Amino acid sequence: MAVADQQIQLNEANRWLGALCFDQARDCCGRVFADAYTEAVSELALALSQNPTALISGVAVSATTGAIKANRLGELSQEFYEPKDAAAVATKYGPNAPLVLQRFPFLGDVIGCWLNVATGSSRIIARVRS
């Protein structure tokens, strides 16, 4: 991957993570927020380099099981896909959670302690509280 492409992925990761609400003053297992944030940006940039369209245009092609519905109007067509592991993703981050967390739920493991978002899952909230 070219250096310019790497910088683009890092910029996009910073932009998406920067849009989340954090409580940087929280004490999270002795970790420093800046270190966890840098790790999250790096992980997200790596994930975006492998699938640059993951946060645009719906579910990525590699994460589909096939069309579950198709609409057609003249020459226009639209297909809807269901994620491979829809149940697992839905239990961690619901449809009201930020898109970046829905598409990359592993980010919650890295920066979840500082996040101020509703996950739609009592399992995650219980884990953060303990």
Instruction: Please give the full DSSP string across 2-63, using - where no structure is assigned.
Output: -HHHHHHHHHHHHHHHHTS-B-TTS-BTTB-HHHHHHHHHHHHHHHHHH-TTTTSSSS-GGG
Amino acid at 41: V
Counting every residue written for the chain, the total comes to 130
Work out the number of other CB atoms within 10 angstroms of the CB of residue 53.
11
Roughly how many angstroms between the first and final C-alpha of the chain, as a whole number?
Answer: 41
Contact call for residues 114 and 26 (beta carbons, < 8 A): yes
- Report whether pLDDT(20) > 80: yes
- What kind and span of H or E run contains 99? helix 99-103
Highest-scoring range by mean pLDDT, 1-10, 50-59, 81-90, 111-120: 1-10
Spatial distance between the Cα atoms of 112 and 20, rounded to a whole number of angstroms: 11
- Report whether pLDDT(64) > 80: no
The phi, psi pair for 31, rounded to 5°, reads -85, 150
- Report whether pLDDT(68) > 70: no
pTM of the model: 0.63
